[in-house]
Amino acid sequence: MGIGLNLWFFSGEARAFPSCQGLIFFFAASCSTFPCAATLAQLVERLIRNEKVAGSSPAGGSSTGGSIFFSLFATPGFSLTLFLMSRADQPPRSRDLSRRYDRAFRADEAYRASLPDMQNKDASQIQGANVPIQHVGISGFRLPMQVVTRDGKPITLECTVTGSVSLAADRKGINMSRIMRTFYEFKDRVISHELLEEILIRYKKDLECSRARILIEFQYPIMQKSLRSSLEGWQYYRAVLEGTIDDLDRLRRYVHFDFVYSSACPCSAELTEHAREARDTYGIPHSQRSKARVVAEISPGKALFVEDMKDLCLAALQTETQVMVKREDEQAFAELNGAYSKFVEDAARLVYEQFDADLRVRDFVIACSHLESLHSHDAVSVINKGMPGGLSADFHNFRDLIC
């Protein structure tokens, strides 16, 4: 197939080729008969960059400005235009760079030493205010790990990890990969608060920081028995083990725990009974799925397991949602809600009572959310133990309590 090539050249000085290193734009009315347009464009660009074309002309003309239009006509139904814009403001490449990935290349010590390290530049390279940063690190890296249980038999769970350290003024940044690499040295160990203490101490050493923090989140399974039948099913609980270490090497340990329960409204229950007694009218009081989120700091020298957190919440709230039910279990659940109806204020105080009486718990904060079936909004409450310098009741992320 014959291809005719027409070339028009426009320049400030007609004697010169411009030094075209720039952008190529394709305007094609129909490209179906010419599948190699992109390949041709690459050949044209390379030709223009070639030393025989770029630079000053043999006649001494200037290489400033200009445009070249190539029009190629392959068939009556095909039209392609290449527009090449001069980029004389950019220096030409000193050499052709390889676009091939070298799978055989290996970095030796000398090569690694030559690599630029942007995070360890001096203070003059800091952007913005030269001030300390309280937390900097990695959030959300995942791996399977064994997690400690109350009966001493570890279970393997998918864990999501957040690790962070403090950054002093005059330091541009941290070695971010060290957060993961240090943690991975412990990946075959059983996750417990004692292990978190070891990791935190290593964080301070490896990242040369004064404070560090680590959180490990997982879904923890506990077998739940039905209320009246012989059925059993796995209930999963969101839990987080947290550890912190400060500039005086003081370690603090926390357990975060979510407990999902049913909240039957006491007011609705009384109004339903009133309608039955006063007007012989049948009604159903409203109830809804609800969630309590508890963060408990463990007392020094004590242990507090996920199972313990579940037991304390169950003792307080009673009406945990069920996994496996038969009709007798559903009836039992209705009776249970009737016996333990509660407002969101009641829920917070009931959980407070349990955790405040437990000597394993040094401090705590509780947030409850009742996802109202009566209203188009939720009822919420927050309460803390109130220790000086302890956990704050400044909880506001109630959307995270939707269940």
pLDDT in the model for residue 122: 82
According to CATH, what is the number of the domain 123-401? 3.10.270.10
In what order do the strands lie in the sheet containing 79-85?
4-10, 67-73, 79-85, 24-30
pLDDT in the model for residue 47: 55
Q: Are 219 and 238 in contact (CB under 8 A)?
A: yes
Closest CA to 367 of 389, 344, 342, 340: 344
What pLDDT band is residue 54 in, cutting at 50, 70 and 90?
very low
- Between residues 187 and 75, which one has the greater pLDDT? 187
Q: Are 44 and 22 in contact (CB under 8 A)?
A: no
Q: What is the pLDDT of residues 348-378, one digit of tens each?
A: 999 999 999 999 999 999 999 999 999 999 9
> What is this structure's pTM?
0.75
Q: How many CA atoms lie within 13 A of 361 on its CB side?
A: 26
User: For 10-24, 278-292, 384-398, which range has the lowest pLDDT when averaged over its residues?
Assistant: 10-24
Give the mean pLDDT of 25-53.
48
CATH 3.10.270.10, the chain: domain bounds: 123-401
The alpha carbon of 146 is separated from its chain's Cα centroid by a whole number of angstroms, namely 22
Give the mean pLDDT of 251-273.
97
